[in-house]
Structure 1
Amino acid sequence: MSGGEGPEAQPRDDPPPAETLPVDPDIAVSAEPQAPPQEPSSGTRRPRQADVLAVIALGGGLGSVARYGIAHAWPTPNQGFPWATFVTNISGSLALGLLMVYVLEVWPPSRYVRPFLGVGVLGGYTTFSTFTAEMRHLLATTHWSMADAYALTSLVSGLVAVWIGIAVARRAAGLPVRRGPSRRDQTPSAPPPARLPASPGDPPRKGSSR
């Protein structure tokens, strides 16, 4: 037996290539192994995500038009609080909390619902760039207290709106509203071991009336 030979190599289960994975994580992947997809010829090959990018672009356009309409109907005064952007971002956070419950726990898996509504519509409707530009304007004009209030209330109100959206959606769908660590309390505990009946010849146990 030569010393240079090692143990026989064990076969490894390599992860599937990226092309075989679903674009949308909501799509359920079958547990059974499937044959790899056939590669089309070079003349007919097209991007696999073109359809998803199309629905994202469509949703983003609709969301951006809605945001522009709100900003145009509710202009921000020169020295005032930017209510239009604030309401837009908070309502978008609320809608995102509602949507994620239905997409992940209520509706059947879909390739286009989450990209269209979550990434497209809500991504175009909410805005971080306008929020940043308005924060810079408030700081540049030395409105320190208003800038602090705008930043703090936007962050806190956005998180609260997401939580409210999740809670409302779960109650509307008939699902229990989870409260973080309390989920452990819902896990059924193991029943205590059953005691065998004592036979007449056994000595009396401690604490027994025998």
Structure 2
Amino acid sequence: MLMSYIILAIGGALGAILRYLVSIYFSKLFGNYFPIGTLIVNIIGSFILGFFMGLILEKLPPTSLRKIFIAIGFSGSFTTMSSLSYETLVFIIKKQYFKAGINVFLNISLCLISTFIGYLLAKKIKG
């Protein structure tokens, strides 16, 4: 049980650090007009989770250290529902309803598509 917590913490720390770096990079690249950093990390994280689910994770028990590291630790901290919610709320408060709707729509639809593509790619690689 202790090893599960350690693996979870390592995966979570790596995902959070990488999320921060990717978000900062894309904010500098595109500015703060739209939360592109959050969108990018959510798409990438969804792809990674879909890929590893298709490759190895779906057959592993929930207590598997690989599943804990990738699915809960890394992907859970790399992607960010709370930032999506906050950034959307800011748009709503500023009465930028179109941006709020686009933000939610892009995150949900592109992340679902990305997860599916990752899953299909893993299945194709597996044969």
How many Å separate the matches in 2 of 1:135 and 1:54? 33
Aligned residues between the structures: 123
Q: Within 5 A, what are the aligned runs for 1:18-37?
A: none
Q: 1:96-116: per-residue Cα shift (whole Å, max 9, x none)?
A: 110111224688xx8311101
1:71 and 2:23 matched: yes
> Would you say 1:53 and 2:5 are equivalent positions?
yes
Listed one character per residue, the Cα deviations across residues 64-96 of structure 1 (whole Å, up to 9, x for unaligned) are: 000010122222745x11100001001111111
Which structure 1 segments of 5+ residues have no match? 1-48, 175-210
Superposition TM-score, scaled by structure 1 size: 0.55
Write the letter of the residue equivalent to 2:79: T
Query: Aligned residue for 1:62?
Result: 14
In the other structure, the counterpart of 1:95 is: 48
Is 1:149 paired with 2:85? no
TM-score w.r.t. structure 2 length? 0.89
Gaps of 5+ in 2: none
Provide the C-alpha distance between the structure 1 equivalents of 2:113 and 2:69, rounded to a whole number of angstroms. Answer: 24
Match of 1:86 among 39, 43, 47: 39
What SS does the corresponding residue of 1:119 show, helix, strand or coil? helix
**Partner of residue 89, structure 2:** 136
Q: Which of 47, 51, 72 pairs up with 1:119?
A: 72
Greater relative CO, 1 or 2 (CA 8 Å, sep 6+): 2
Letter in 1 for 2:109: V
Deviations 1:21-66 (Å, cap 9, x if unpaired)? xxxxxxxxxxxxxxxxxxxxxxxxxxxx211011001110000000
d(CA) in 1 for partners of 2:46 and 2:66?
17
Alignment equivalent of 1:164, drawn from 110, 117, 122: 117
SS of 1:59's equivalent in the other structure is: helix
Q: What SS does the corresponding residue of 1:74 show, helix, strand or coil?
A: helix
Q: Give the number of the structure whose residues are more often helix, by fraction.
A: 2
The structure with the larger Rg is 1
CA RMSD of aligned residues (A): 1.8
> What secondary structure is seen at the aligned counterpart in 1 of 2:56?
helix
CA-CA distance at 1:119 after TM superposition: 0.8
Give the percent of matched residue pairs that are identical in Structure 1 and Structure 2. 27
Cα deviation digits, residues 144-173 of structure 1 (max 9, x gap): 111101111111111111111111111111
The one-letter code of the counterpart of 2:21 is G
Please say if residues 106 and 173 of structure 1, whose CA atoms lie closer than 8 Å, have aligned partners that are also in contact.
no
